[in-house]
Amino acid sequence: MACKDEPKPIIEEMAVVVEEPKEILEFGFNLENYTVKRDTIRKGDSFGEILERNHVGYPQIFNIAEKAKDTFDIRRLQIGKPYTLLCTKDSLELPKCFIYQPNLEEYVVINFHDSIHAYTSRKPITYIEKTATGVITSNISETLEEQGLSPRLAYKMADDIYAWTIDFRRLQKGDRFKVIYTDKYIDDTIYTGVHNIKAAYFEHNKEPFYAFEFTTDSTKGIIDYFSEDAKNLRRAFLKAPVKFSRVSSRYNLKRRIAVYGFKVRPHKGTDFAARIGTEIMATANGTVTESRRKGGNGNYVKIRHNATYETQYLHMKKRNAKVGQFVKQGDVIGWVGMTGNTGGPHVCYRFWKNGKQVDPFKQKLPEAKPISDSLKIKYLDFIKPIKIQLDNIHFLDDVFEDQNQPEHIIKQNNNLISQNR
């Protein structure tokens, strides 16, 4: 018999937690509601053929194409670009939506679930500000690679910021830099590279070079880099219209060619050898005066920069500029090819001064437009907090030298090392 005072057993009630299935959202749709089919446009594919092999009848295909044509021309599908079909979740798996991605950011939706409608949209983009420092041992690319950083940082510093200030082919061992930059991500997961450099400090031969990004003309989207005392760091012209190239033939009025019996054949351009498809950039701001294909020049673009200077870019595979268009320095105006008279892929860069073709490497090129007095005051106020932020970034070698400091200082410095990485 049980004792009266014996405690009754405690029965614990178990709480049952029911988790709702997480939504998988992409392109503005909950993918859980569809059978998702992904593929890429292949040779011979067309919008109609893709839908037809997925059991959509021709009359419906024609109706969809007609109603979508004001938003997107279905004939513009490019081989290799991805597309997604959202289909019914049944045995038929009939398509209800076609989504095409012409690039990583943009996508075109042709929705024919109930009514037919089409629109273009963009994936969400995230910008994350980061900092980096480095000490040169051989070259800047290797220094960045050792830290797992994008080589794009080196290209931007060498070509966009310090092209006329520091010769990156002659960096000294012990030169060092620190930089504030922004990385770009699509959908928070797809890394698309360095978006921009906000500020940089480069110590070359013990001499400091500050650089701060600043918009001088918001209407035309002109962005320049200036020193701490508001001096423009670039010239009005880039040194070359293509990156990562070599000069294969210089401007030479006395050039003789064996094929022509060593007769004098003046070469009034500068040839930059590069792979077919390499981007060709406008070397300065200006207005396109010619964009055509003609004789030995092949595909070419000509730009008037002001009353004094013009430039021309020959032998393009394809042009990307129209007559009358205003282009900014660095804009892609075409791609390297072999059109016209050429023995290999390159861009022939021609440079006019006062209507006469000259050697660009022998010109004392003008500096870029300086900041106006009123804008200079705004600039100096703008960079104050950024310069403080830049100055407070510690070089890694300085941090390591401080390891004999008190423990709390060492912890601070170790945190800095982690942040810089």
| Cα 322 to Cα 287, 301, 312, 340, distances in angstroms | 9, 9, 14, 20
pLDDT digits (tens, 9 = 90+) for 171-192: 889 999 999 999 999 988 888 8
Query: Is residue 6 one of the residues assigned to a domain?
Result: no
209 pairs with which residues across the strands? 202
Higher pLDDT, 252 or 406: 252
- Cβ burial, residue 208 (10 Å; 0-12/13-18/19+): exposed
- Statement to judge: residues 91 and 181 lie in one domain: no
Order across the sheet with 95-100: list the strands: 35-40, 82-87, 95-100, 106-111, 117-122
pLDDT digits (tens, 9 = 90+) for 373-390: 889 999 999 999 999 999
Token digits for 173? 């061992």
- Statement to judge: residues 133 and 177 lie in one domain: yes
Give the pLDDT confidence score for residue 419 in this predicted structure: 44
196 pairs with which residues across the strands? 182
**Residues 94/100/104/106 CA torsion (nearest 10 deg):** -120
- Statement to judge: residues 280 and 205 lie in one domain: no
Banded model confidence at residue 23, pLDDT cuts 50, 70, 90: confident
Lowest mean pLDDT among 104-113, 147-156, 167-176, 250-259: 250-259
25 pairs with which residues across the strands? 30
Banded model confidence at residue 221, pLDDT cuts 50, 70, 90: confident
Last residue of a domain, one of 362, 387, 405: 362
Give the pLDDT confidence score for residue 4 in this predicted structure: 56
- Statement to judge: residues 251 and 355 lie in one domain: yes
- Statement to judge: residues 40 and 184 lie in one domain: no
Give the pLDDT confidence score for residue 108 in this predicted structure: 96
Determine the Cα–Cα distance for residues 354 and 309; give it in Å rounded to an integer.
Answer: 6
Which sign does the torsion angle of CA 317, 318, 319, 320 carry? negative
| Cα 226 to Cα 118, 194, 355, distances in angstroms | 45, 20, 31
Banded model confidence at residue 11, pLDDT cuts 50, 70, 90: low
Mean pLDDT of all residues belonging to the chain: 85
In single-letter form, the type of residue at position 350 comes to R
Token digits for 261? 């019996």
Token digits for 139? 């070259």
Higher pLDDT, 247 or 207: 207
pLDDT digits (tens, 9 = 90+) for 308-351: 999 999 999 999 999 999 998 889 999 999 999 888 899 999 99
pTM of the model: 0.66
- Statement to judge: residues 340 and 407 lie in one domain: no
Query: Is residue 240 one of the residues assigned to a domain?
Result: no
Determine the Cα–Cα distance for residues 204 and 189; give it in Å rounded to an integer.
Answer: 36
- Statement to judge: residues 176 and 318 lie in one domain: no
Residue 264's contacts (CB-CB under 8 Å, 6 or more residues apart) are 254, 255, 256
- Statement to judge: residues 313 and 394 lie in one domain: no
Highest mean pLDDT out of 17-21, 37-41, 234-238: 37-41
**Domain with 382 in it: what CATH number?**
3.10.450.350
Query: Is residue 14 one of the residues assigned to a domain?
Result: no
Lowest mean pLDDT among 48-62, 83-97, 180-194, 242-256: 242-256
Residue 41 is classified by DSSP as -
- Statement to judge: residues 107 and 134 lie in one domain: no
pLDDT digits (tens, 9 = 90+) for 270-312: 899 999 999 999 998 899 999 999 999 999 999 999 889 999 9
- Cβ burial, residue 386 (10 Å; 0-12/13-18/19+): middle
**Domain with 338 in it: what CATH number?**
2.70.70.10
- Statement to judge: residues 332 and 252 lie in one domain: yes
327 pairs with which residues across the strands? 286
Query: Is residue 2 one of the residues assigned to a domain?
Result: no
In single-letter form, the type of residue at position 323 comes to V
Query: Is residue 8 one of the residues assigned to a domain?
Result: no
Q: Is the pLDDT of residue 10 over 70?
A: no
Last residue of a domain, one of 89, 122, 155: 122
Query: Is residue 409 one of the residues assigned to a domain?
Result: yes
Q: In angstroms, how far apart are the furthest CA atoms of the chain?
A: 126
Q: Is the pLDDT of residue 16 over 80?
A: no
Give the pLDDT confidence score for residue 22 in this predicted structure: 66
- Statement to judge: residues 32 and 179 lie in one domain: no
Q: Is the pLDDT of residue 400 over 50?
A: no
Last residue of a domain, one of 122, 153, 168: 122
The domain of 380 spans 124-234+367-421
Give the pLDDT confidence score for residue 373 in this predicted structure: 87
Banded model confidence at residue 417, pLDDT cuts 50, 70, 90: very low
Banded model confidence at residue 154, pLDDT cuts 50, 70, 90: confident
Closest CA to 173 of 138, 147, 134: 138
**Number of structural domains the chain divides into:** 3
Give the pLDDT confidence score for residue 416 in this predicted structure: 43
Query: Is residue 241 one of the residues assigned to a domain?
Result: no
Banded model confidence at residue 50, pLDDT cuts 50, 70, 90: very high
What is the pLDDT averaged over residues 69-93?
Answer: 93
Residue corresponding to tokens 């300065």? 284
What is the pLDDT averaged over residues 100-122?
Answer: 93
